[in-house]
Each structure stands twice: as C-alpha cells, then as structure tokens.
Amino acid sequence: MGIDASVLDRSVGDLARLVQSGEVSAVEVTRAAIDRIEARDPALGAFLTVQADEAIAAARAVDDKRARGEALGKLAGVPIGLKDALCTRDAPTTSGSKILTRRARPGEPDLDPARGFRPPYDAHVVERLRAADAVLPGKCNMDELAMGSSNENSAFFPVKNPWDLTRAPGGSSGGSAVAVAAGMTPAALGSDTGGSIRQPAAFTGTVGIKPTYGRVSRYGLIAFASSLDQVGSFARDVRGAARVLEVVAGRDGRDATSLDAPVDGYEAACGRDVRGLRVGVPEEYFAEGLDPAVAASVRSAIDGLRGLGCTVEPVHLPHTRYAVAAYYVVATAECSSNLARFDGVRFGLRVPGRDLGAMYDATRGAGFGREVKRRILLGTYVLSSGYYDAYYLRAQKVRTLVRRDFEDAFRSVDVIATPVTPTVAFPLGEKVDDPLAMYLADVYTLPASLAGLPAISVPCAPVSPGGGGAPLPVGLHLVAPPLHEARLCAVAHAWEQISPARGLVPPGLP
C-alpha cells in the first residue's frame, strides 16, 4: 500500500528525515514521485525521460542500507530532477537537442529523447547526489544546449508554466523549475549561464540558487559558455535549495576551474539573524523597461528586509547597461568553440554526406535548432580575424568593468537586491521570433553571471500580468560577494518567512 503523494510537498530536509527514521520508505516516496510525474507532466512537459525502474532500484538500495543500520546521506530517498545537460551513465542525455539524439530507425518516432546519447560516466554533481542517497527519477526538459529564456527552444517540446499553461516557465532550466513548482520532485538541479536558474525560478514561484563560479564542478555538464556555466539548485524553499547545493558544492580535480575553498553550512545559515546586514539597491535595475507591478513587489520585499533589521542604501552599478551586449559576445564566442565538438563523428546524430565536409554540414544543419545556429554564427563572427579586437576583446573589458562595479558596491553593502526579471512570465510564442526581446528577459541576471557572483531568486508577492488575470510569481534577486552563499541563504530565508508568497502553489494541479 502506497503513501499519500502529499509527502512530496514536504521540505527536502523533512523528507530525508522521514526516510532516515524509517517512517516512510524511499521506495514509497519514489513511487509517489513517479505517479505524480505520470499524472501531471503530460500537460507540462517538464521531463524528457523518466527512469522509473532505475529510480525504484536506487530507492530500494537506500532502504536496504537503512535496514543494515548504515547511516543515510543528507538527501536520503529524496527524488531530484536533473536538467538534461548533466551526463548520466544510466539515462539518455540530450541537452534538449537533436544533435545528441540518434536518427530514427523504421517504426520509431522521428524524434525521441529516449534515443539520446548515453554517456559512459556521471557528472560530478550526479555522483554527489547518488553518494548522498538521493533518487533520480528523470531528466528534465530544457532549451536546446542551454540557449534560451523560455524553454521553447527544446528540440522536443516546450515546457509550460504550471501557474498558467499559456505562459513560459523561463529557461533554459525550465523543466527543472517546473518539476519542483508542480510538486513532481521536491528539488532539482539546473545550470545557469546568464540567468537560466534564477529566471525560471522567478517565473514559477520556486527558489533557485546560482553559486559562485567554480563553487560547483562543471565536470559532466554539457558546455555552453565555459567561463559562465554553473550548476545550481531548485527547491520549494530556501532550506531545501541550500541543502542540495551544499551536497553538490566542493572541489573536484577534474574541473580546472573548481575552487578549493571550504563549503560553509548553507542550510545552517537559514535562520541566522540578519539584523545589521546592509542591503544595496541599484537604481540602474529599476529603470525603464521594468513592469511597475514587478517593481512594486520587489521594493516591498526590500522594505520587508528593512523591517527585519537590515539597513537599505542605494548603490550604483553604472556598467549594467552594457551587460547584455557584453554577455552575448562572450557567451556566443565560447558557444562557437564548445559546439565544434558536435560533428557527427564521435557521438549523437550523424547525417551521411558524400565526404567528410558534407557530413559535417549535413549533421550540424539537421542537428542544431535555429537559436543555436544563430549563436554559433554570432560567436564565430566576433572571434574572426579583423573583428576579435572590436567585439570579443572589448566585451571582455566591459566584463571587467561590470565585476569592478560589484566589487566597489560590496565595499559598503553585504548583499544587493534587485528584480530577477522585468516582467512576470510572458505568453508562449510572444518572444520566440524576436531574439532581442528574448535576450532582454535576462537583463537583471546577466551582470552577476559576468562577474561570477552567487545569486538567488526567492519568491515575493505575486502580481497580475499587464492585461489582467490571475496573479503570477515574482522573484526577489539577491546577489552576494564571491563564496558568500551562506549569507545569501540567510537573507533569502529571513525574507521567505514573511513573504506573502510563502506556501503558495500553482492552482489546479491534478
């Protein structure tokens, strides 16, 4: 006899404690998660593949471990969704792209993520989750190769926002965010290059953390832009996201950018007194283009922090206005280089041609979607002879100026508070044919990415979209100096306790 699926609505820590104590079994929790995915995901599209048998086997191993009297890990029996950019040895990995999906044989569907590339190894963060006794029921949908802000660029099907099925969930980690928002898994991993955890978290009313660059190993993460990519966590609350991040963070010798720095107690920081902390508010983030209702919700949250004993003062980040342009030069240049490996020779899709060059052309032409091709072309252009200094080198100089802006600001404040997004979740299809409008959806998250800083999105008061209708989630964006994830978690948790969004879930879920 199974347990009530509402156990999945418990916090990550509570659920792990229930399994550790034997009050519920990991198998029962996993079956509840698989049942919820089967009931809810057909309308949402959050999962590309579900490994039910493998998840049950992993959960049974957790229960057997407890029966032997062995200590269980910090994520014992907790189902965690994985963005499909993370390599898994026992499940397909497509990164949301045809390029990592072999061609159909007669009688097979034309495009099926189950035919995705099967890596011979796990990503470092997947190894960490398994070691902590987490259960991994499936791979989450995403914008192709992590390029997008709406999850409409998935080669397979778009993800829909559980708060309003006509609206985008954000991207590129939209599937991971929706898995958590819809209660299919209590937590999930995503990746964030320019906002791909924080923006979906804001759009779906979840908590999403992007750590300091180098805090979490990128080993086994399919690369988009190597100097920007970071793995981070989603959960329904700050404590849950903090616990998951604490498990996956730490030095890994297989990633040359991995930092050899102690991992502070992120979860333990939740509940820490925040009185006296200085919160900086950059007026550059409250300028033209920001929806007035979103601005009011975020300013109200900042006032809430003041009421908790924080001091609030203005700061200036003058080079913010150049961040979008600099990001889309740096990121696309790195994308052009990283994606050269997808050539039809070693893995994934191969489309035959009369010779090697023709095979490259045919494979990449068929395997990459429109947005990926756009970014490859842009990146190749800015790296080309005669344009490198004018674009790429100049963008890197701007990146340095953006980082210095933050360094200057953090001399007088402890955290910086801004909106996550200019609007609430926008309708599906509204921006997909307007790349510039789509790129501007990340205007507030890109600067922290360029600077390599830790940042978090935590829900604040929902607001109605411009045309009216039911209120939709809004995110408060908090940014801290490098390696100060614990401080972020403390401030975000303090706000969460008084947030009008606390405990809100999407209506109408089956």
Residue pair 66/312 in contact by the 8 Å Cβ criterion: no
Cis check: omega of the bond before 172, within 30 degrees of 0: yes
From first to last of its 510 residues, what are the pLDDT tens digits of the chain?
A: 468 889 999 999 999 999 999 999 999 999 999 999 999 999 999 999 999 999 999 999 999 999 999 999 999 999 999 999 999 999 999 999 999 999 888 888 888 999 999 999 999 999 999 999 999 999 999 999 999 999 999 999 999 999 999 999 999 999 999 999 999 999 999 999 999 999 999 999 999 999 999 999 999 999 999 999 999 999 999 999 999 999 999 999 999 999 999 998 999 999 999 999 999 999 999 998 999 999 999 999 999 999 999 999 999 999 999 999 999 999 999 999 999 999 999 889 999 999 999 999 999 999 999 999 999 999 999 999 889 999 999 999 999 999 999 999 999 999 999 999 999 999 999 999 999 999 999 999 999 999 999 999 999 999 999 767 899 999 999 999 999 999 999 999 999 999 999 999 999 888
- 46 within a domain of the structure (yes/no): yes
User: Tokens 């779906």 correspond to what residue?
Assistant: 204
Per-residue pLDDT at 5: 86
Please indicate, yes or no, if residue 412 is contained in any of the structural domains.
Answer: no
In a domain, 202, yes or no: yes
CA distance readout (Å), 313 to 179, 191, 317: 37, 31, 13
Could you tell me if 190 and 234 are in contact, meaning their C-beta atoms sit under 8 angstroms apart?
Answer: yes
- The answer to the question of residue 350 being in a domain is no
Instruction: Quickly tell me which residue has 């008061």 as its tokens.
Output: 461
Q: Which of 178, 186, 181, 108 is nearest to 143 (CA)?
A: 178
Q: What are phi and psi of 218, to 5 degrees?
A: -95, 5
Is residue 172 flagged as an active site residue?
yes
User: For residue 293, what are the domain limits?
Assistant: 5-279+289-315+423-434+456-498
Sign (positive or negative) of CA dihedral 292, 297, 298, 303? positive
Residue of 186, 193, 232 lying closest to 209 (CA atoms): 232
Residue 370 lies in a domain: no
The total of structural domains in the chain comes to 1
- Residue-level pLDDT at 390: 92
| Residue that is written with structure tokens 């020779």 in the block | 345
pLDDT of residue 110: 84
Residue 336 in any domain: the answer is no
* 375 DSSP β-pair partners: none
> How far apart (Å, rounded) are the C-alpha atoms in residues 126 and 128?
5
Residue 384 lies in a domain: no
Instruction: Name residues whose C-beta falls within 8 Å of residue 261's C-beta, 6 or more positions apart in sequence.
Output: 215, 251, 483
Strands of 455-463's sheet, edge to edge? 47-50, 138-140, 80-83, 187-192, 230-235, 207-210, 455-463, 472-479, 415-419, 278-282, 311-315
* Active site (annotated) includes residue 95: no
pLDDT at 467: 67
**What is the pLDDT, as a whole number, of residue 203?**
98
238: domain CATH number is 3.90.1300.10
For the chain, the C-alpha Rg in angstroms (whole number) is: 22
Taking CA atoms, 461 is separated from 63, 145, 170, 207, 216, in Å, by 40, 32, 18, 14, 31
Contact 459, 206 (CB under 8 A): yes
Is-catalytic flag, 258? no
Q: What is the DSSP letter of 477?
A: E
Say which of 11, 25, 74, 83 is annotated catalytic.
83
195: closest CA among 448, 15, 428?
448
Catalytic residue among 149, 150, 191, 196: 196
Residue 399 lies in a domain: no
Q: Which pLDDT score, from 0 to 100, does residue 2 have?
A: 65
97, 150, 154, 172: the catalytic one is 172
